[in-house]
Amino acid sequence: MDTKNKKDKAPTVKKEEYAVVLDYLSRGYVKSDMSKFGGKAIAQAIGTEQFTLLELAPKNGVDLEIQDTVYIGKGKRDKIYRVLGRLDYENLTATSRIELEYAIRDIVEQQEDKFVEFFNTAEALSTRLHKLELIPGIGKKYMWEIIEAREEKPFESFEDISKRLPTLADPAGMIVKRVQLELDTTNPKRGKNKYNLFTQPPRSQRRQQRKPR
């Protein structure tokens, strides 16, 4: 009963307070059908808390730089006038797609403690599948090595993980790849790919979940 309730419980949706700019279009989108805000300056960005892809409207007279971190939370904002809403991966510009990996990597490295804690505390999703198995490059074999190592002593950093487990040479990079996989809505989500460890389900997936059958 407890397991069922845990499965059915929706994940907590956290509001993004900061976002990293992936692309800045001072004259809006080239294709007018991409957004109703065509013609006005717009930025595509990624949140630093749950990697939420977002459209942002900058304040008049403000020019944004790619990879800038901007405040988008409640209260006074210095650069952003309005958060226009969530953005699906397929609507990212070519520039945003190029910048995405760099932005995710910076976020992961800046929040190292949070993601090292994942390696220390990740649990089984079911009797057949463990959260650690969802990380690209781990699988069952390395999963057990991680569990045994963290039981001896919790990991302290990414460097500590790679030093104690040489097969995990770039644990931060593994997290980055998982986040990219979760954000990419251009491919069907099946098997291990249908779970969201670090991100919110995309808008299209949530609409499908709410649609009556």
Listed in sequence order, the residues at least 6 apart from 4 whose beta carbon sits closer than 8 Å to its beta carbon are none
Contact, 21 vs 41, CB < 8 A?
no
Out of 74-83, 88-97, 199-208, which region has the weakest mean confidence (pLDDT)?
A: 199-208
Contact, 173 vs 105, CB < 8 A?
yes
Based on the number of CB atoms within 10 Å of its own CB, is 189 exposed (0-12), middle (13-18) or buried (19 or more)?
Answer: middle
Q: What are phi and psi of 157, to 5 degrees?
A: -165, 170
SS3 145: helix
pLDDT confidence of residue 13: 54
| Domain ranges across the chain | 18-96, 111-210
Q: Taking 90 as the threshold, does the pLDDT of residue 193 lie above it?
A: no
**Fold exhibited by the domain 18-96:** OB fold (Dihydrolipoamide Acetyltransferase, E2P) (2.40.50)
Q: pLDDT digit string (tens) for 39-78? A: 789 999 999 999 999 999 999 999 999 999 999 999 899 9
Q: Taking 60 as the threshold, does the pLDDT of residue 30 lie above it?
A: yes
Q: pLDDT digit string (tens) for 143-172? A: 999 999 999 999 999 999 999 999 999 999
Task: Give CA–CA dist 59/56, Å, rounded.
Answer: 10
What share of the chain in percent tops pLDDT 70?
A: 84
Angstrom CA distances, 72 to 39, 49, 58, 80, stand at 22, 12, 10, 7
Per-residue confidence band for 139, with pLDDT thresholds at 50, 70 and 90: confident
CATH code for residues 111-210: 1.10.150.280
Place of tokens 């390696």: 119
Give the number of other CB atoms < 10 A from CB of residue 135. Answer: 24
SS3 23: strand
